[in-house]
Structure 1
Amino acid sequence: MQATAWTRGPVGIDMIGRVTRNGCKTVLVLVPTMTAGTRLLDLLPVLDGDHRVQVVFTMPSSEDVWHGLDGFVRDLGALVLPWDQARRHNWDLVLSASHDCIEHVHGKLLLLPHGAGAGKSRKRTRTVTGGVLPTTGLDRQLLTRRGQVIPATIALPTEADQALLRRTCAEAVPRSLVVGDICLDRIMASVVHRSRYRAALGVGDQDELITISSTWSPESVFGKHIELYERLVVEAAHAQTKVAAVLHPNIWAVHGRWQVRSWLARATARGLLVIPPERGWQATVIASDIVIGDHGSTSAYAGALGGRMCLAAFPDHNIRAGSVGHTLGRFAPRLDPDAPLRPQLDRVRARPGSTRLREAISARPGMSHRLLRTAMYRLLDIPEPPWPVFVTSAPIPIPLDW
């Protein structure tokens, strides 16, 4: 087998002959999935403007790969190192929002959750053999290797997550830090741009935007009620209503863009706006008047915004008590997919919004970027920049042009 060529980047014993900025601290960004990558894109702008830091990306390689991941990372315009090269270098800081392959990198690791809550909402997760295993997302087998805790710092959204960690991997608690939720903070900071997001989606001030959000798995909206997408644009829409679809990146990765387009072809022909997985879901949620969802993180963030939302699918039998999903299931109204949709949505819109999910998602509202920047520079062992942390706005949504 031919060895993978190494990239002539700003690392390695011979880098001095090619770099322009010398002496930079090196930061490695692990992107094993698009979900993990998009979460880290909420964080990386805190390094903007610092000439002392060089950031490079890599896609950890294992026995299987996610379709579309390479294009997602390459389109960022970042320097991407082959996995074999990245795992043979010593890094000043490693950033990851996934447990995948973290034991194979060398450097101080900052580990973030990739969704709402550090603990999984589902009680059990699927395995490659089709079985199910109990999991919390903070289990000892994920965080340790040969009896040693792998991350240097574990970023947690709430004290409840820290209490869960104490039960599942007590030796990792000293390395944990409650920092809130960086994604929620970016969403809240972007609410001021709601009118811009609506305009980008073709939604006027007097128009209504209904968004269907789906996580992946057969228990999701897309898995159980794919017919809702076409029904909604037919039954619930009128001249001043638009309908958008936000699908979990793993739906696209597992089934492929061509197949998703084919499955939604009749709905898109009637006007469904499909938001690409790599860009625009946060802005679309902000722009929405009603969000229809399931147990996924996007539904939880929609609920935390205080807007009108409801659940069209929800696996009550597989939701872990005390999780963000559990809180979502307690307070969000249910949509009956077999009943007429418009009357149900009118009732949802008439309900007052609630912010009860915010406390379940974040114990440090508005503070996550500042707290995480402090943690990152502590691990880098250099002073923080003198300028304040700036939270970048969520990117403008651009529906797919099919």
Structure 2
Amino acid sequence: MATNGYMVQSWSTLPDHIVVRILLHLDLADRYKASLVCQSWQACFQQPCMWRYFHFRFLSTVNHNTDNIFDYNQFLAKHGHHVRSVKLTLDQSEEENRHYACRVIESLATTAGRQLTAICVTFTGENPLFYAGAEFVAALKMLFGPTPPTISPPLSQIVHVDLSGLTAAYDDSVFTILADNHPNLQSLNILNRMLICKVSPSAVLHLVDKCRKLTDLMAYHCSLSDDILACFAESDRTPVEHLGIVCRREEKYNKTLTSEVWQDLVTAVPNLRVSLGFDHTCPFNRIKELMQPEIPVRELRLETFTRIFEEVNIATAYYSPTLEKIVLQTRNSDELGAALLNLARDCKLLKSMYVYCVLKKEVVEEILVSSPLLKEHKDYILKWKADPEPWVVGVEEGD
């Protein structure tokens, strides 16, 4: 239709693939409203590709987020069998958010023809006093459990689970159920920052033994054992690619994983990558013991807030062939500056360095000269003047 020499087109004339791209950038509540524009947009809203990867957000009502009052379950009942990957982000401080998020997990658990293969849960906001997330643990057990009798099997097995953002007190039972019903699991992250880790090495061993395709595991050191590393070294399984290990307060009572099993694992899986971290609660005297030379550390995090430099020298001596990233939260000293310079010179693969303290200007300049790869990637925090936080990666004073 032409008006005054100009061609006027309606929204319905937009190509379907353009409409789909637009809708994919919207939350479900806004996506639904947009689908009411015309029949063409409604048809795009119903396409299976719209539901394969979904991010559910339940955020604070003080932000006037309409997701909080939107009923997801009517759409999960109709389109839930198309969902492949789900991420849930919620402000845990409000009971309504927790309620709706659990309902989504429970709906997915009972969806006929379920194709879900990946789930990630992330809490934001303040943790309510004495809140342990029991309803999320129950919902996850339902999701990870056997096929309900009301649903005709088979359902797709879950292969990616990320619970690092779920500050809930999950225990062995969650992962025993996961292992027994989803043996094709490929990645699992359970570094959830709870004060006490209740996941035992026996439960992790059961999971590693059952899930022979597991290639990426991130867990606290207290949940690991020699038997787990030995299981990863077995020849009749998919080679493990990455282990993420964080050492905390529990290391006061724990045994160190032995050098022999580390060496056997590295021999069996020469391309293994390890991320090794120490937080401020880890007993200081245990750090050097746990930094074993046999571990192929690609990423090292020393977030102790104490004065350290010997540990940086140890990292240079042990991990120079493999180290690509280092994160330090410490206090400055002349010894630290010298240790960082040695690290920059000897670790030829180093391309990321975050140092959360103020160094001397000449130390920063020499680090960047000594590590061309670090300067090339511009993935660093190196400051010689105190800036207001947050510090920006790759940006220095005077640049």
- Identify whether the pair has TM-score above 0.5, normalized to the shorter chain: no
Mark the structure with the bigger radius of gyration.
Answer: 2
